[in-house]
Amino acid sequence: MGSTADATSSNAPDSNSPEQPSLKRVMGPGLLLLFIVGDILGTGIYALTGKVANQVGGAVWLPFLVAFVVAIITAFSYLELVTKFPKAAGAALYTHKAFGVHFLTYMVAFAVMCSGITSASTASRAFAANFVEAFDLDFSTGIGITLLGLGFMTLVGLVNFRGVSESVKTNVVLTCVELSGLLIIIMIGLWALGVGDGDFSRVATFDTGDRSALGAVVAGTALAFFAMVGFEDSVNMAEECKEPSRIFPKVLLTGLIITGCIYVFVSITAIALVPVSELGEGDTPLLKVVQAGAPGFPIGIFAFITMFAVANTALINMLMASRLLYGMSREGVLPPPLGKVHATRRTPYVAIVFTTILAFGLITFVGEVPELGGTTALLLLGVFTIVNITVLVLRKQPVEHKHFRVPTIFPIIGALTCGFLVTPFADRPAVQYQIAGVLLGIGVVLWAGTVLVNKRLGKGGPRIDPEKLAEHE
């Protein structure tokens, strides 16, 4: 999974100025497609393929396929919203336009921020595991992985503090690196199929333990969905696209189809070359696939490709989380200290420290990739449920220009499927609800604290402007 952030927001003009120039429309279909594909690719497929296999057995491709279907249904809802309201914003803006409830808008934005932190924490764990493989270290679990993960997150925090300028061209390079690793896996699979290596009969087998096949696929989908998130971030680029109402539908759907096909091919190759029992151990499943299918391939090179892919996921998610937290503080819905900017670096250093500390807590006290990745999916599925509902509500607010209109049945199915995957019926581990509850509880406490402070100062209740907030996202 990947997510995007406007890392240059701390250097942007004051959002309170009376008039702001519109963003330059520089992205055509090609660049937008690369952006979307790169945003979806990342930690999920590199780290969670084996964990999904533990849920369903050899049919590991099926949860990824179902996750793709759920994602593309929700993508249709985003398409109607982004072409109807082509601003650099997202779920918080749509929620506010539909319901006008500041607390709900805030909680949606805070949930998105928390998903960035849990995603980055997942990536830090995967980075540590691949670091061990790349340098052939003696430890592979426990305290050693935790310390490496903490060290990596410290480095991410320092880079974040220093300031990073994300650009579309940079994203193209990162996308090519992430994509190269997955194409290597697919080519290994094609080679194995051609020469008769591997056991492709495994792809049709289920190993679900005491659960039914349906229950196992649902549980696997709840975890595999982490690999599909990222497409929703493309709405933040709407204001920088040429003719967004015209090109967005085709490009977004094409990007989702490309990544969905890659994930299915990669998962089929993985299970054909590595048995479920081995694939599901540890946090480096695709390294095992390379070792099994191409023993002569330098494993260190692939480990570095994986490290690069998950490192990019961690950095851009922490950039997003800290800037979004900073934006909420500047909007007056979080304590003012979180909106402080460093005098020389011009970065939101208090927000960076706060989000980094939260990531430290997740890495130290949770640590495991499935729990962290599953929590990311849980938070975003909750957001997607609301987004699908907003499509139906906002049908009452017509706009003058033409826009994409999704058949009504799609947002209904999207709300039901995303909502179902949030519930315990999806067989989620209780720890995922606990992590999400703690993170969202912190958000509620921060909001309540801001309300009390505002009352003492004689100010009104917190009010959030999602369009201004989006300038920091």
The angle at the Cα of 214, spanning 416 to 269, to the nearest 5 degrees, equals 105
Query: Is residue 10 pLDDT above 80, yes or no?
Result: no
Dihedral sign (CA 377, 380, 384, 385): positive
Q: Per residue in 71-80, pLDDT tens? A: 999 999 998 9
Q: Is residue 17 part of a domain?
A: no
Q: Is residue 138 part of a domain?
A: yes
Count of other CB atoms within 10 angstroms of residue 176:
12
- Helix (H, G, I), strand (E, B), or coil: what is residue 331? coil
Q: Is residue 74 part of a domain?
A: yes
The CATH number of the domain holding residue 376 is 1.20.1740.10
Tell me the HSE value of 448 on the side-chain side, using a 13 A CA sphere.
Answer: 6
Query: Is residue 16 pLDDT above 50, yes or no?
Result: no
> Which residues span the domain enclosing 54?
25-472
Q: Is residue 83 part of a domain?
A: yes
Q: How far apart are CA 6 and CA 390, in angstroms?
A: 25
Q: Per residue in 312-363, pLDDT tens? A: 788 888 888 898 888 888 878 888 899 899 888 888 899 999 999 999 999 9
What integer pLDDT is reported at residue 74 of this predicted model?
Answer: 95
Q: Which value, to the nearest 10 degrees, does the dihedral of the CA atoms of residues 263, 267, 424, 439 take?
A: -60
Contacting residues for 103 by C-beta, under 8 A, at least 6 apart = 447, 462
Query: What is the CA 370 to chain-centroid distance, rounded?
Result: 14
Q: Is residue 7 part of a domain?
A: no
Contacting residues for 248 by C-beta, under 8 A, at least 6 apart = 32, 79, 82, 83, 234, 238, 241, 404
Q: How is residue 206 written in tokens?
A: 């289920």
Q: Is residue 15 part of a domain?
A: no
Contacting residues for 303 by C-beta, under 8 A, at least 6 apart = 130, 131, 133, 134, 284, 287
Q: Per residue in 118-134, pLDDT tens? A: 999 999 999 998 898 88
Q: How is residue 445 written in tokens?
A: 């406490």
DSSP state of 301: H
The tally of domains found in the chain comes to: 1
Residue reference for tokens 């493309």: 234
Query: Is residue 265 pLDDT above 90, yes or no?
Result: yes
User: What percent of the chain lies above the pLDDT cut of 90?
Assistant: 48
